[in-house]
């Protein structure tokens, strides 16, 4: 299941506790630990994978039975040379053909981040070497042993790109479950 919350009133651990409650039926968040390269896991729940990301006040998470990675980014202009530093030639060609739109760059970037979170490697190497499918925002695809889905979100006047990656052939949901702050 894919989850999102857009608020500054819901702390990250409260959001993750709601994700765990909704996905696993647990009433409290088990201890959240990290593997050596930073991938989070729930102590005592090896069959459940949890991945999360945040961008400003927007929280994004994926929970499921297999390896998962999730990422979210605010779509905003960056230095013009950034895509060349982050994308391989195949991705740069696709980005250029599509008009060099920042939404397309962030779609590629969140797919890359989701993949390295899924594998537990983290982005400890050149992002150009992380291969992802060429997906339009809101689409899904299978590439190199992983299933990917991109999401396009809007909160207020701001656009976000998000992505989830799962190991193997998995049916990643199109819909996101939104959580609102309970104050």
Q: How confident is the model at residue 7 (pLDDT cuts 50, 70, 90)?
A: low
Secondary structure, 3-state, 124-141: CCCHHHCCCCCCCCCCEE
Q: What rounded mean pLDDT belongs to the chain?
A: 88
Average pLDDT of the segment spanning 92-104: 96
Sign of the torsion angle spanned by Cα atoms 103, 53, 178, 62:
positive
Burial class (CB in 10 A: 0-12, 13-18, 19+), 25: exposed
**Confidence (pLDDT) at 32:** 81
Ordered domains of the chain (ranges, CATH)? 2-178 (3.90.470.20)
H helical segments located in 25-137: 82-86, 89-97, 102-119
Is the per-residue pLDDT at 76 higher than 80?
Answer: yes
Count of beta carbons in the 10 Å neighbourhood of residue 97: 10
The pLDDT, as a whole number, for residue 27 is 77
pLDDT tens digits for 134-174? 998 889 999 999 999 999 998 889 999 999 999 999 999 88
Alpha carbons 176 and 173: distance in angstroms, whole number: 7
Q: Assess whether pLDDT exceeds 60 at residue 181.
A: no
> What percentage of the chain exceeds 70 in pLDDT?
95
Q: What pLDDT, on the 0 to 100 scale, is given for residue 9?
A: 66
């Amino acid at each position: 299941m894919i989850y999102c919350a857009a608020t500054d009133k819901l702390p990250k651990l409260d959001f993750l506790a709601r994700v765990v409650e909704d996905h696993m039926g647990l009433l409290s968040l088990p201890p959240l630990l990290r593997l050596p390269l930073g991938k989070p896991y729930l102590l005592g729940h090896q069959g459940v994978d949890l991945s999360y990301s945040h961008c400003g006040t927007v929280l994004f998470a994926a929970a499921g039975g297999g390896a998962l990675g999730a990422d979210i980014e605010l779509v905003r202009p960056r230095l013009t040379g950034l895509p060349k530093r982050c994308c391989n030639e195949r991705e740069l060609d696709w980005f250029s053909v599509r008009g060099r739109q920042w939404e397309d760059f962030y779609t590629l970037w969140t797919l890359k981040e989701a993949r390295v979170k899924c594998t537990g490697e983290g982005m400890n190497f050149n992002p150009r070497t992380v291969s992802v499918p060429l997906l339009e925002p809101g689409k899904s695809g299978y590439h190199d042993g992983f299933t990917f889905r991109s999401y396009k979100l809007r909160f207020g006047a701001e656009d976000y790109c998000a992505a989830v990656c799962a190991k193997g052939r998995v049916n990643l949901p199109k819909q996101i479950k939104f959580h609102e702050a309970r104050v």
